[in-house]
Amino acid sequence: MSLTDRYRRPADLPPRIPVFPLRGAILLPRATLPLNVFEPRYLEMLDDVMAGDRLIGIIQPEAADTAEFEESPRAAVSLRNVGCVGRVTAYQELEDARRTITLTGIMRYEVLDEAVTDLPYRVMSVSYDRFASDLSEGLGEEQVDRANLLRVLRSYLDANRLEADWASIQRASSEFLINALCVMCPYGPEEKQALLEAPDLKRRADVLVALAEMELASSGSSGTTLQ
């Protein structure tokens, strides 16, 4: 059963989810995020979700504060208001007790409040209602300026001397391409959050293109040489 078949409406997702705070990391619907899990509290979280619905919420910490990662799990680190829930779609146990997993994004959520539990990791009460359209695969693709997106992507890769499988890129849907690029792109936490919170696919693509063009301009590269 595909994720599209499994989750058709917000009510198909739980109102409380464990969250994995990661600075500079986001997840988006139908994009994938590989993770290397090694901290004991998150290993316990992973054991729990694998025994249950396999769902984890990715969310960024609010402040540039390392307490979330260095102190008690109850360290008072504020989290962003918007994250994305994903399902564990690949899982591997390693000999040194680490786990490698892949999360596939389902839909974004708003944090309502933090649940009080005895667990070592954080659990949030969330609402999906604002992002119900995330469950409609391909919604808004016809509004995306795909030619411009590919032009800027090509210029960005050339400027950074990066290789790409252009045959696969050409075959990919605009939604998959945009969301995957947003997850993989090496931008900072604020830029990542802007991409996550873009209200629709077109505006997410517009933000992604604008960020790439600003970087190209600052480096003195031109996005106008692509034939």
Which of 58, 55, 10, 27 lies closest to 195, judged by CA? 27
Say if residue 20 is in the same domain as residue 96. yes
Identify the pLDDT of residue 68: 46
Say if residue 156 is in the same domain as residue 96. no
Tell me the pLDDT tens digit for each residue of 50-60.
Answer: 999 999 999 99
pTM, to two decimals: 0.90
The total domain count for the chain is 2
In order, the DSSP letters of 159-188 are HTT----HHHHHHS-HHHHHHHHHHH----
Q: What range defines the domain where residue 204 resides?
A: 141-219
Identify the pLDDT of residue 76: 64
Q: Would you call 78 helix, strand, or coil by DSSP?
A: coil
Tell me the C-alpha to C-alpha distance, in Å, between residue 6 and each of 3, 107, 129, 143: 5, 12, 17, 27
Say if residue 10 is in the same domain as residue 117. yes
Residues ≥6 apart with Cβ < 8 Å to 142: none
Identify the pLDDT of residue 162: 85
- 163: in domain: yes
The domain that holds 9 is classified in CATH as 2.30.130.40
Q: Which of 135, 152, 185 is the last residue of a domain?
A: 135
Q: Would you call 86 helix, strand, or coil by DSSP?
A: strand
Say if residue 38 is in the same domain as residue 118. yes
Q: Which of 135, 152, 178 is the last residue of a domain?
A: 135
Say if residue 129 is in the same domain as residue 25. yes
Rounded to whole angstroms, how far apart are CA atoms 22 and 58? 7
Which DSSP letter does residue 116 get?
P
Sign of CA dihedral 69, 22, 24, 79: negative
Half-sphere CA count of 106, side-chain side, radius 13 A: 28
Contact 69, 50 (CB under 8 A): no
Say if residue 113 is in the same domain as residue 35. yes
pLDDT under 50 in the chain at which residues?
67-72, 223-227
Identify the pLDDT of residue 218: 87
Q: Which of 135, 167, 192 is the last residue of a domain?
A: 135
Residue 111 CB coordination number (10 Å): 18
Identify the pLDDT of residue 75: 56
Rounded to whole angstroms, how far apart are CA atoms 36 and 203? 31
